[in-house]
Chains A and B, each alone.
Chain A
Amino acid sequence: MRKRSAIVCFTLLAAAILLPWLFYDFAHHRPAGFVISMLSQMGMMIILALSYNMLLGQAGLFSLCHATFFGFGGYATIHFLNAAGAGDLPVPMELMPLLAGLSGLGLAIVFGAMATKQRATAFAMITLGIGELVATAALMFHHFFGGEGGVNTDRMIDRSLFGLSYASGTQVYYLIVGWTFIATLLMWLQTMTPLGRMANACRDNFERAQFMGYDPRIVRFLQFCLAGFFAGIGGGLYAITYEIVTFDAVAAPLSANALLMAYIGGNMVFAGPILGAVLITLLQSGVSLMSNSWLIYVGVLFIAMVTFAPAGLTGIIVAHGPIWRAGRISQLILPYLRLLVPGIAAVTGFVGMVELLSFLTIGAAAGKQLVLFGSPIDVNSASPWVVAIVLLVVGSVWLRFEARYFARVWESVGGDAEVQA
């Protein structure tokens, strides 16, 4: 098992190293800027989501202030870079994320001491308050946070372990790959330490953990601090990449994003948040360009996951493991195909409804033409509405029917497979 994880891990690393060259524009000798910036974004988001999962998945703590540590690491890095640029801080570029992580750790110690006195719901509310506190303060105080305009820097501090200038996005990208790899590895190792195991124990049954002589509060506190440390590293990379950190980096939407990535990817498997971060970043840069209703799709996807697949995408994949090993996966092909048809119909109908509705109130005012699935659509005629509603209603009713059939097959296959395993 561990050997296979290592293979997956190094394949991913190799892919991360090679991907920019796949999209390299050899005709003009130009790196693919969009791809590199998206991959860089993915790297930071992977760190953010993984460190968030140290709380949500491993310790069962629902935090709503994770961006606070990410953003604080970012702000601190801007100031470190400015100091280094002025020659006051003899730290090479490659170690800047470490300083950012330590800044995140410092803040996490302060806030963690308060928040980890509670668990579950009260913890969630307190972290919400802390997140709001820092985000509001970021808008009000100018010396450290720069107010609404944020703080900016120049990353070419001319001090590097490898003699790099970090003038190009590609060099920064490889810095991000390196740090993402290190942080991921450390977080993975952390899950196997006694602290990581005790965090699991306190998540599952904190009273029993208490009977065994551990203080769940200390476990929560240490886990919270470590999560803050890694989030800070992510924030440091953010500051180095964009050379500006604004209020957005500490604000609630980013905390929510961390939650969405970890949960949709799956919080019970270590690699889950990685998948979630990659997927959400792809969706964000893809879908949000096409549609301004991006949040409603994420919201619906999220609620569907909470209701039907609480273990997330990786949880769904893992559930297929026993069936695969039992060699019965082929029996699931037909049920999946039967789910696909009404599923596509329902999703198309839903997307159609959302886009038509939102165009009516938001898009139409901008004087644009609605283009849906590659063809221009007249929102004032009845036909697109009828098509969307019919697709949505028929699709969902049919989907319900097929879902029952799927559940029957799944139970027969899964049930048998478990016995054989």
Chain B
Amino acid sequence: MEVLLVSLLNGLVYGMLLFMLASGLTLIFSMMGVLNFAHGSIYMLGAYFAYESTHWIDFWSALLIAPLLCGAIGAAIEVWGLRRVHHNGHIAELLFTFGLVFIIGRSVQMAWGMLPMPYRVPAGLDFPLFTLYGLQFPAYRGFMLLVSAGMLGGIWLLLKRTRVGMIIQAALTHPGMTAALGHNVPLVFTIVFAGGCFLAGLAGVIGGNYQSTEPGMADAMGPIVFVVVVFGGLGSLVGCFIASIIMGMVVTFSVVIDASIADLLRPIGIMPRNDDLLGEILTVPVARIGALLPLLMMVLILFFRPRGLLGTRDT
């Protein structure tokens, strides 16, 4: 029971972190048809910026400044990079962001070195929030939940209840018509791209000290965020949210499950032995293949529902 509750909470924290990254990615995609491969890199930059700024200012200011910097970088990428290659088609845009991954990844190594940075949880949040069956739940995780829930509400309000949100939604589906009505659609694109990067930066600030701030964090986070977006369905914010939570739960729960497929087969009389590839797949405990499960789930959902969970359109 205690394992269940603690894993549930941790899965929620991780899932919300995933959603912060995936929401920006899916917004950018549904609007511009561009998949930002550098999204994980921006997340990494957010963490490094936050670490760097805690030398001069406190964590709370860094919480605002680092995402703003990431947003500015995003705007620069859109204006000076993507817009230039736009006329060469979507593949060129994809390739452009793909090249950015190398440059940002290497630049981070150049600026901060290869070793993990001592980016710590702020002292004001470094206490156990409550104790559950003898296990302490850190206040910082509660804070992460708060920030991501706030972000979720913020996005929803912005998109559904404001004029800007309405224009963004209109530009999402009918860019030509929106432009004809006198709105500056390229500016909307820049805002959305910068906004997505802002969210990735924010996720970096609060994720950098939850996980670890090191040059490999972009490669560690990037693929799973893509998996979330594909699983949820390209272009669907709700699907993206559901997928984030599911993936967060799957990754967290798989760590504590020590069973394997063989345990399910044993009652019906099949006894697989670990002496070939099939036997190994059947007998490997779930805890050891935790990293594989989200990818497997993605492949499975593509097999049964090529558009993903709530995907609305093909590409």
Contacts and interface: CB of A to CB of B under 8 A. Distances in A.
Interface of A: 56, 60, 62, 114-115, 117-126, 128-130, 132-133, 136-137, 140-144, 252, 256, 259, 263, 293, 295-296, 298-300, 302-303, 306-307, 310, 354, 357-358, 361-362, 365
Given A140-B288, A141-B280, A141-B281, A295 B106 contact: yes
Interface string B38-82: 000000000000000000000000000000000000000000010
A252 B288 CA distance: 21
Given A128-B223, A133-B292, A361-B110, A118 B103 contact: no
A120 B298 contact: no
B306 A293 contact: no
Contacts of A310: 85, 88, 92
Given A115-B302, A121-B90, 6 more contacts: A125-B229, A129-B223, A296-B102, A300-B103, A358-B109, A361-B112
Nearest to A299: B102
A306 B92 contact: yes
Contacts of A114: 299, 302-303, 306
B230 A293 contact: no
B294 to A, nearest CB: 9
B99 interface: yes
B35 interface: yes
A365 B96 CA distance: 33
22 contacts: A114-B303, A114-B306, A118-B306, A118-B314, A121-B29, A121-B33, A121-B35, A121-B90, A121-B315, A123-B315, A125-B229, A128-B223, A132-B223, A140-B291, A143-B276, A295-B105, A296-B103, A302-B98, A306-B96, A310-B92, A354-B110, A362-B114
Q: Which 7 pairs show the lowest CB-CB distances between chains A and B?
A: A299-B102, A133-B295, A296-B106, A303-B99, A299-B103, A302-B99, A361-B113
A117 B280 contact: no
B111 interface: yes
B297 to A, nearest CB: 10
B84 interface: yes
Contacts of B33: 120-121
**Range for the number of chain B residues in contact with chain A:** 35 or more
Nearest to A117: B306
A307 B80 CA distance: 10
Contact of B91 (A60, A117, A137, A256): A60
B35 A124 contact: yes
A350 to B, nearest CB: 12
Interface of B: 29, 33-35, 81, 84-85, 88, 90-92, 94-96, 98-103, 105-107, 109-114, 219, 223, 226-227, 229-230, 234, 275-277, 279-281, 284, 288-289, 291-292, 295-296, 298-299, 302-303, 306, 314-315
B296 to A, nearest CB: 7
Given A121-B29, A296-B110, A129 B102 contact: no
A397 B84 CA distance: 19
A119 B230 contact: no
B178 to A, nearest CB: 21
Contacts of A365: 113
A122 B230 contact: yes
A62 B93 CA distance: 11
A333 to B, nearest CB: 28
A298 B112 CA distance: 20
Contacts of A140: 284, 288-289, 291-292
Contacts of B219: 252
A358 B110 contact: yes
A348 to B, nearest CB: 18
Contacts of B106: 293, 295-296, 299
Nearest to A356: B110
Contact of B296 (A115, A133, A252, A303): A133
A137 B92 CA distance: 31
B315 A137 contact: no
Contact of A362 (B99, B109, B229): B109
Contacts of A115: 302
B94 A143 contact: no
Nearest to A134: B295
B295 A129 contact: yes
A321 to B, nearest CB: 21
A133 B299 contact: yes
A136 B291 contact: yes
A122 B102 contact: no
B35 A125 contact: yes
A117 B302 contact: yes
Nearest to A139: B291
Contacts of A130: 299
Contacts of A62: 91, 94-95
Contacts of A60: 91
A122 B110 contact: no
A121 B85 CA distance: 16
A142 B106 CA distance: 32
Nearest to B308: A122
A85 to B, nearest CB: 19
A303 B110 contact: no
B94 A121 contact: yes
B315 A293 contact: no
Contacts of A129: 223, 226-227, 230, 295, 298-299
B213 to A, nearest CB: 15
A263 B113 CA distance: 30
A361 B78 CA distance: 30
A303 B277 CA distance: 42
Contacts of A132: 223, 227, 295
A17 B98 CA distance: 36
Contacts of B100: 299, 303
A242 B314 CA distance: 42
Contacts of B234: 121-122, 125
Nearest to A263: B95
Contact of A141 (B112, B277, B315): B277
